[in-house]
Structure 1
Amino acid sequence: MVSAPTNLPSALAAALAERGHEVVVHTRRVDPDAPERQRLPSGVVVQQIVAGPVRPIVEQELAPWLGEFGRALAAAWRDDRPDVVHAFSWASGLAASAARQQLRESTLIRNGAAAAPLPVVLTFTAFGAEQHRRQGPVDPGLANRIRLEVALARSVAAVIAGSDDEVEELARMGVPRERVTLVPPGVDVSRFTPYGPSAERTDAPRLVAVGDLTPSSGFDTVIAALRGLPGVELVIAGTTSGDASEELERLRAGAEQLELADRVTFAHSAVRDPAARSALLRSADAVVCVPWHGPVGAGPVLEAMACGIPVVATAVGAVSDVVVDGVTGVQAPPRRPDQLATVIRGLLGDPVRCLGFGAAGADRARSRYEWARIAVDAERAYRALVPAALPAVDDELIHSNE
């Protein structure tokens, strides 16, 4: 697998290793103290690749070092050729595709005959075209990224999408449907369960809002909805891979302006610890995830469902596939705080419905989204690309480049 260090597919890699695959995750080195090669307790090997400055770099600024990353990957795979490469994000896909081409050319030079191409599978963590639709005019950097994403999606052996929305986006990019496989996100159902400690709370009804700490995640909509929810407290548990201080300040200022600051708490630091995150989710009467634009990951919503908590969500991104309206939770329109307040008020006022949604959500998370099942889905996509002569699963090699 190939991925950015901020987006390692650790859970999927561990689930594949549990199934007997040898999984190597290649990621760009950002920490000078990190070991060059490390085998994790799960059996997954993490290989650090030096490409560019040894420090975190946002993906949009990685372009000058992707060639170096690709050459390093080719060198690693020349001695230990994987059967399948799964790249996460357009930048990792570009590096993996460059490495594949270099391997093919070096084989031709040495042997005079082409070996079977190394199959590269690509998963997009975000789409440039989607960003363009959200922000309007395209700057040159984004325009170039959009062109690269289209070329990559059409050239790799297969694309794994995480939601129906992504499948539709890939169709707009001209990717043939037969080369797209839907593999949804997963959840650790051994850690996120209805049973376990809950975070401390008052007697007031509690909402926990989840999502990325970005303007399109709808936290401001939830804050505004509190005006129609007297006595309800809100805990914002936003995730971030970088500096979100500007967004936090914007949300705090909004709560102050609406005179709701005494009912809004920020717990973004606690979400980094899975134990603290699961305890916070269990303390909620309902979990809210109301983004108005993608990309939207369903991980936090799945964790809430696995904990047996009813969910209020917008039908955006992967969340629309996960939350079954009227069964595991309630869908609400985006950017409409008045309607959101009405939906939440109706849910909190019906304890029996809350319990039913919570139980159905926990059952759906366990039966459909457990990581062991997601690994089977991913494995099926890999096997479709691998020659029949491959050895049995215990000896099979799947590399994960991050």
Structure 2
Amino acid sequence: MKIALVAEHTSPLPAHKGEPTCGESVHIASVSRHLAKLGHRVTVYSRRDAEGLPGRSRMGRGVNVEYLAAGPEYTLREHEVAEHTGAFAAALADRLDEDSPDVIHAFGWTSGLAALSAADTAGGVTEDTAIVQTFHSLNASEQRAGLPERQERVRLEAAIAGRADAVVVNSADQRFELARMGLPRTRVNVVPYGVDTDHFTVEGGVATEPWKGRREERTRIISVTGLAGGGADALIETMVRLPEAELVIVAGPAPVELALDDDARRLELLAKEAGVDDRVTLTGPVDRKEMPRLLRSADIYVSAAPYDPYGGAVLEAMACGLPVVATAVGSATGAVLDGTTGVLLRSARPEALGSALRGLIAESTMRSAYGIAGADRAESRFTWQRVAAETERVYSRARPQDGELPAAVGDDAH
């Protein structure tokens, strides 16, 4: 199949050297490469968001990235991207006229708007072209986590889902939200986020920095999260209850200069006021090449995020053999099996986190069992190869010539 992946607001090729870091970029890059390995030809269409980008770049065998001119050539925030979606859609329509795909797969609501608009106007798009929509996040879900309400986006997400031939989400929670919007369950496919189990492995070296204590003295806890709204405050407050442990908080993928970042300074002050600053370390983003070594140096992974649409960091920790304590939100609910690979919590209150973490600190045998089960689960259920194969199944079922659609992918997600 010829597959057009539409990602207006992100690119699978970072401007700097290395691998993509944000959740959606990692998803698109990984799925693209593995779809190509399955024999498909993939083109990713992204907005030109930096000066000097070529019109077309080769990401790997069978995968190309095309940058379309739409708005200023620098990174924009979500609402700013939406202001240029019309121009992006027009440029996309021109490209689809020249290179007609079998499948158009959009990631995110602005990309969905652009894909539907381009499909309506591009002569190269026919009734045989399947339109697939992925929502990593829905505003209805974000509102439940206390994030800002955007009613216009809620209406647009419902309209986009209704027009697509198939909808893909990362978790059963998102399928539930779409059902509340009136979308039939059979139209929604749960295809989870993935993990590179060739890179994130149990075996391998471990990092010695930036830990402040020595392994024989303290249990090591690690979390990869945003410094604002990612649960870092609750984790630091939890450390008061865990005098036998030390914590490293790795900032999320957004570039952070800790010395200049207001949230980093606020968290450092919180740790000092709580009397745990000698056992808490904040880092900026860690290069993905180094992340497995850092994860393997810890004993427990914890996520106190009130909302986690991807769950990528949880999966990477599981693949490295760490037991996981996480709030039962978003993709974490599908990744972590409570009582088998870790502990799922209803809330991220410090007392709940402290209780769960104390239980694992005291039971090294349980930590080992959870870690072994988590690594097995990551390898058997969440590899990018399997994610790409399930995505391919969605495409095949969505194409009109393939006949009547069977049950949606993802009913056996666990």
Give the TM-score normalised by structure 1.
0.88
Verify the 8 A CA contact 1:218 1:334 in the aligned structure 2: no
Segments of structure 2 that go 5 or more residues without pairing to the other structure are: 12-23, 404-414
| Alignment-mate amino acid for residue 284 of structure 2 | H
Pairwise CA distance, 1:379: 0.4
Q: Deviations over 1:234-291 (max 9, x none)?
A: 1002313466934333322322221222211112321xx2221111110110000122
Structure 1 residue 346, shift from structure 2 partner: 1.3
Shift of 1:211: 3.1
1:110 matched residue in structure 2: none
Is the Cα contact below 8 Å between 2:102 and 2:128 reproduced in 1?
A: no
Q: Which residue is equivalent to 1:247?
A: 263
Counterpart position of 1:2: 6
Unaligned runs of 5+ in 1: 108-113, 391-402
Deviations 1:365-384 (A, max 9, x none): 00111111111110000001
Equivalent residue for 1:284? 298
Partner-residue secondary structure (3-state), 1:40: strand
Provide the secondary structure at the position in 1 that maps to 2:43: strand
Q: CA deviation at 1:134?
A: 4.1
CA gap of 1:136–1:306, structure 2 versus 1, over 3 A, is closer
User: Using a 3 Å threshold, how does the CA distance of structure 1 residues 136 and 322 change in structure 2: closer, same or farther?
Assistant: closer
- Which structure is higher in helix share? 1
Q: C-alpha distance in 2, partners of 1:98/1:328?
A: 44
Query: 1:2-401 counterparts in 2 under 5 A?
Result: 2-3=6-7, 4-5=9-10, 7-8=24-25, 9-103=28-122, 106=123, 115-116=126-127, 118-135=129-146, 138=149, 142-200=150-208, 201=211, 202-203=214-215, 204-215=218-229, 217-241=230-254, 245-270=261-286, 273-292=287-306, 294-388=307-401
Once the two structures are TM-superposed, the CA of residue 296 in structure 1 deviates from its matched residue by 2.9
Structure number with higher relative contact order (C-alpha < 8 Å, ≥ 6 residues apart): 1
Q: Partner of 2:20 in structure 1? A: none
Describe the SS at the equivalent of 2:154: helix
Structure 2 Cα separation of the partners of residues 329 and 63 of structure 1: 39
In structure 2, distance between residues paired with 1:297 and 1:169: 16
After the TM superposition, which of the residue ranges 256-265 and 43-52 deviates more from structure 2? 256-265
C-alpha distance in structure 2 between counterparts of 1:209 and 1:136, whole Å: 21
Contact 2:58 2:64 in 1 (8 A): yes
Tell me how many residue pairs correspond in the alignment.
Answer: 375
CA separation of 1:13 and 1:339: change in aligned 2, threshold 3 A:
same
SS in 2 for 1:5: coil
How far did residue 42 of structure 1 move? 4.8
Residues of 2 paired with 1:135 and 1:282: CA distance? 33
Change (3 A) 1:64 1:319: same
- 1:206–1:232 Cα contact (<8 Å) kept: yes
1:195-239: per-residue Cα shift (whole Å, max 9, x none)? 111110422221001234441x22211111111110311100231
